[in-house]
Amino acid sequence: MVTHTQPDGSLKWTRRTTGERMVRWFGWLVGVAVFVYAWNTISQATTWFFVWDAPRIAGDIFGRATPPRWSYIDKLWGPIWDTLNIATLGTIISLFLAVPVAFLAARNTTPSKMFIRPIALLIIVSTRSINSLIWALLLIAIIGPGVFAGIVAIAIRSIGFCAKLLYEAIEEINETQVEAITATGGSRWQVMVYGIVPQILPAFAGIAVFRWDINIRESTVLGLVGAGGIGLQLSASLNVLAWPQVTLILLVILVAVVIGEWVSAKVRGAII
Amino acid sequence: MLKLDKLVKTYNTGDQALKSVELEIPQGQVLALIGPSGAGKSTLIRCINRLVEPTSGKVYLDGIELTTLGSGALRRERRRMGMIFQEYALVERLTVMENVLSGRLGYVGFWRSFLRRFPQSDVDNAYRLLDRVGLVHMADKRADELSGGQRQRVGICRALIQDPALLLVDEPTASLDPKTSRQIMRLIVELCSERGLAAIINIHDVALAKMFVQRIVGLESGAIVFDGVPDDLTPDMLTHIYGEEDWEATIEKVEDEEQEAAQ
């Protein structure tokens, strides 16, 4: 935003100074150069024959995969039920763990900004940064394969996500409502229950169904590593190249995810 | 019954909000605290119930020194000081009844309050107060469904159900229209005289203050520069508190309106 005075006395306004324009032009130049360089590198590392061949192979697989083997559905009811349970129980457990972590992490409710808050933030970052598939691999090694490992993997993975969103909601509350409850002579816990909780309840419910929705999708793949659910059938079918079964499994997952999204959208709509 | 002794508040930023304030309020007196924005009015009343910790000085409520109390004793004394806020400060997502009953939190244990199982006497009292301010039919409405004036009435009920000896009132009318402002001020003053409560009312509307209270204290840059009856608050004095302005015009105008309203 620069205003110049012209020789004839009139004012001329431009968005950027000449220096800023040069910097931006140079930035674009560097960007294009990097893009061209990266394109060349990738190109050299690619076997282009396979890429040109891809449409034919994809068509071939599609041909083998259709129609889906509908009769296989009888074997999928159990696993898809397991998958939904993994997602639901995992979400519930993670919420129980995430609520205290969020209160310890929020600047306005943490007992100690120096010691406890960093620990809470560390829990949030560490649980969030590891994918649930990797948590599942670790947990299968520790507690053995099965649904339980899947539940725990989902629960751990979700703590960070839920706690982070929740502590941001806690930090955004209206402090005068908290002040008002404090002024009545309420104790620390009463202030929390009356002054803070009602303000974050909508956010909490929204986070819970949002995470449940994500967890349905995540739990469908946990079976790939042996942590229960429909992923187990998926990996078995892929291994024996039973493409019509794979198609049916993908359709079942699609339906489950769509239902999950529909429910979470309805619940969030009802709260807000 | 309330005595402030050399009360000082210096914020971490170095701003001296209160400079050795001395003030004494007898039982049942309603006092208006006037002054420009930033004069330290809000800080003053928040230092009394220690929502803001004073830097030095003492606050006596019926002889009990408040500034050195531990958290348990402070909570017991806070029960005796009802507070009313500028933006009402109701918990928006709770019902009117829950908001009123929250005034009893200092008297009720955690689990009873968590489960909303307040003693029947508190509930009866809440209904009586809501009836007194004309909102008993709103008891089960959520606070955010109410208008500004209604919310402030609920705020008043919440303060009164504490059974306080003193009301700390922070700009009760700043978010309200002129008519509602007068109704709210009238209600506060009436309730104080009914119950023999002392009150400190922060207010920047001088005309409104002169209309309703017997004692006015002027605060300017954290120091008391006026303490007297409304009639002593001359234009010269207002200029001293607020700065240069044509005071006669604004004050006369408001009084005219009041007469018109009375006719």
pLDDT at B12: 87
Question: Most A CBs within 10 Å: which of B80, B81, B86, B93, as the mutation test of the A interface?
Answer: B93
pLDDT at A16: 82
Q: Is the pLDDT of residue A124 over 50?
A: yes
Pairing of strands B56-61, B64-65: antiparallel
Average pLDDT across chain A, whole number: 88
Q: Is the pLDDT of residue A198 over 80?
A: yes
Looking at the DSSP bridge assignments, the partners of residue B150 are none
Q: Is the pLDDT of residue B248 over 80?
A: no
Q: How far apart are the first and last CA of chain A?
A: 40
Q: Is the pLDDT of residue B254 over 60?
A: no
Q: How many CA atoms within 13 Å lie on the side-chain side of B157?
A: 32
Residue ranges and CATH numbers for the domains of chain B are 2-36+47-202+214-232 (3.40.50.300)
Is the CB of residue A131 less than 8 Å from the CB of residue A218?
A: no
Of the partner residues A174, A177, A189, the one whose CB lies closest to the CB of residue B110: A189
CB pairs under 8 A between A and B: 81
Instruction: Name the residue in chain A with its Cα closest to that of B114.
Output: A193
Lowest mean pLDDT among A65-74, A110-119, A242-251, B81-90: A65-74
Q: Kindly determine whether residue B85 and residue A185, on different chains, have CB atoms separated by under 8 Å.
A: no
DSSP H helices, chain B, are 41-48, 71-78, 96-101, 110-114, 120-132, 148-160, 178-195, 206-212, 235-242, 247-262
Highest mean pLDDT range out of A59-68, B30-39, B238-247? B30-39
Is the CB of residue A240 less than 8 Å from the CB of residue A98?
A: no
Q: Is the pLDDT of residue B251 over 60?
A: no
Is A76-271 CATH 1.20.1560.10?
no
pLDDT at A102: 95
> Going by C-beta distance under 8 Å and a sequence separation of 6 or more, which residues neighbour residue B201?
B30, B31, B32, B33, B167, B169, B172, B185, B188, B209, B213
Chain B residues touching A186 at Cβ < 8 A = 75, 102, 105-106, 113
Closest by CA position to B88, among listed B140, B180, B164, B156: B156
Spell out which chain B residues touch chain A, with contact meaning CB-CB distance below 8 angstroms.
49, 51, 75-79, 81, 83, 85, 87, 89-94, 98, 102-107, 110, 113-114, 155, 158, 162, 168
Give the minimum alpha-carbon distance from B169 to chain A in angstroms, rounded to a whole number: 12
Spatial separation of the C-alpha atoms in residues B158 and B171, rounded to whole Å: 16
- With cut-offs at 50, 70 and 90, classify the pLDDT of residue B261: very low
* Mean pLDDT, rounded, for A77-92: 90
Q: pTM, whole model, 2 decimals?
A: 0.79
Domain boundaries defined on chain A: 1-44, 76-271
pLDDT at A121: 94
Q: Kindly determine whether residue A199 and residue B89, on different chains, have CB atoms separated by under 8 Å.
A: no
* Mean pLDDT, rounded, for B46-50: 92
pLDDT at B120: 94
Of the partner residues B77, B102, B155, the one whose CB lies closest to the CB of residue A194: B102
pLDDT at B54: 92
Spatial separation of the C-alpha atoms in residues B8 and B187, rounded to whole Å: 32
Q: Is the pLDDT of residue A128 over 60?
A: yes
Q: Which residue has the higher pLDDT, A271 or B253?
A: A271
Give the minimum alpha-carbon distance from A184 to chain B in angstroms, rounded to a whole number: 5
Chain A residues touching B102 at Cβ < 8 A = 180-181, 184, 186, 194
* Mean pLDDT, rounded, for A209-224: 88
Q: What is the CA radius of gyration of chain A?
A: 27
Q: pLDDT, tens digit, for every residue of A23-81?
A: 999 999 999 999 999 999 998 888 888 888 888 888 888 888 788 888 888 888 888 88
Chain B residues touching A194 at Cβ < 8 A = 91, 94, 98, 102, 105, 113
* Mean pLDDT, rounded, for A102-107: 94
Is the CB of residue B224 less than 8 Å from the CB of residue B21?
A: yes
Q: Which two tokens stand for residue A254?
A: 């699609």
3-class DSSP assignment, residue B218: strand
Q: Kindly determine whether residue B91 and residue A194, on different chains, have CB atoms separated by under 8 Å.
A: yes
Percent of all residues in chain A with a pLDDT value above 90, rounded to a whole number: 42
Spatial separation of the C-alpha atoms in residues B70 and B76, rounded to whole Å: 10
ipTM of the complex in this document: 0.87
pLDDT at B246: 67
